[in-house]
Amino acid sequence: MIATSIKTKKSLFWKCGLVALFIILFLWLLYNPSSSSSSVLSTEKNESITEQPIEQTTQCLATKDGQASTKYAIMIDAGSSGSRVHVYKFNICNEPVLENEEFHMLKPGLSSFQDDPEAAAASLNELLDIAVKSVPQEDQSCTPIAVKATAGLRLLGAEKSEAILQAVRRRLETYPFPIAGENGVEIMDGKDEGVYAWITVNFLLDKLKKDGQSAAIFDLGGASTQIVFEPTFVPSATMAEGEHKYSLDYQNDTFTLYQHSYLGYGLNEARKRIKAEMIDMWQDEAKRTGRVYHPCLPDGHEEKFDYENSTVTLIGTGAGHAACRSVVERVFNKDKLCETNPCAFDGVYQPPLTETFKDRDLYVFSYFYDLTQPLGMPSEFSVRELGELTTRVCNGERKPFRHMPDAIKQLSDDANYCLNLSYIYNLLKFGYNIPSDRLVRTAKKIRGAETGWCLGASIAMLDQVNLCKA
């Protein structure tokens, strides 16, 4: 009897203990701060930083001066090949934290309406309507909007481009959003485009800190390409003075950046130059027969090409990467006078990446991403691997892509794929002088947000503009 009683008490003791332990564990999980959701800039050890989604922040609901902590910004990227709207939602309790992005694009770009400014402005209606739906009505009158055109519009000339910009401004004034100042509708300076892209990438990577770990960016649009990085010099050396030197103030820190925008070296403009290069080399043949053979185009492919005041038929030879590369390299003007050494290409000064940016991340995006990802390239690859991919494509090899039907279709449908790949490979290796064994990273999005200059420009806009529409 006594033994049974002791046994019963022991059983009751263990049951009570287990219940108490469960309650303690439940309360710990409920109130432990580390279990709450983190902001967009948190880092997960076992997840690629480019694949992490934008998360809802747990920051405060109001700023120190009592203003709402949520702020929206609208940026329209009027590029050479199309227009894109980005609607950003930020928490601005302290430094901006991105909570959400709405993105939509359409074609063609504003420059396609060079003789009809009103039609150019009307082409943005769909994007503006998306912005209206994306921003709560009560926030619309204090949500700044900007339209930034890039190099493609500049190529139309001052008169036509200005007429389009004025028509766009008039169109924006019919919407509930305040235009972000005098520069709210403009052709963006190339250096700003690159620096804003640098801000975007480093903001999303949580590298906007003065610890010398910022990433370099290489952007490739249709009309221009940009390079921006924060070089580190030995004590006895400094960056040469000039327009390439950019001082950026952000969150009480100052970053001294190297930047340059190469107008005419975007993919679409470079492709025209590469095709024209062969005609320049064979002018007599072009005048006599109206036909010129081109090694960067597939064997047997024919296309009409406008050259100066005539039309020339280009005939592909499919001669392979080595032959194509010999033509591509000519457009970089490596022999142009270099007034301030060292130079990258086209006579432009650039601190050597091998000395001033030895082991930090290099991010390449836009057309770099669009051309490599459909062919199965990983998000990180060496310049040499890009060259090997280019060789396979230019040699007409299809076996490496036989398990990727979409890649086979793209290679079959786009006669310029060899030329395009040869250009981006040579831009990195021969133009920007990146060593063959150096790794580059590419992404369309980082932590759920689009790469490119738009986010960086929106962050700068929030910092500079605080206005509401009456």
**Annotated binding-site members for ATP:** 222-226
What's the rounded Cα separation, in Å, for the pair 248 and 469?
29
What's the rounded Cα separation, in Å, for the pair 253 and 230?
13
CA distances from 180 to 166, 434, 463, 466 (A): 14, 38, 11, 9
DSSP string, 321-361: HHHHHHHHGGGG-TTS--SSSSB-STT-B---HHHHSSSS-
Q: 386, 380 in Cβ contact below 8 A?
A: no
What's the rounded Cα separation, in Å, for the pair 348 and 355?
17
Catalytic residue status for 47:
no
What's the rounded Cα separation, in Å, for the pair 425 and 92?
40
Residue 92: exposure state from Cβ atoms within 10 A (0-12, 13-18, ≥19): middle
Residue tagged active-site, from 55, 101, 186, 193: 193
Residues 6+ apart with CB under 8 A from 230: 212, 214, 216, 255, 256, 257, 258, 357
DSSP state of 110: G
Tokens encoding 249: 């103030």
Q: 222, 264 in Cβ contact below 8 A?
A: no
| Active-site amino acid positions | 193
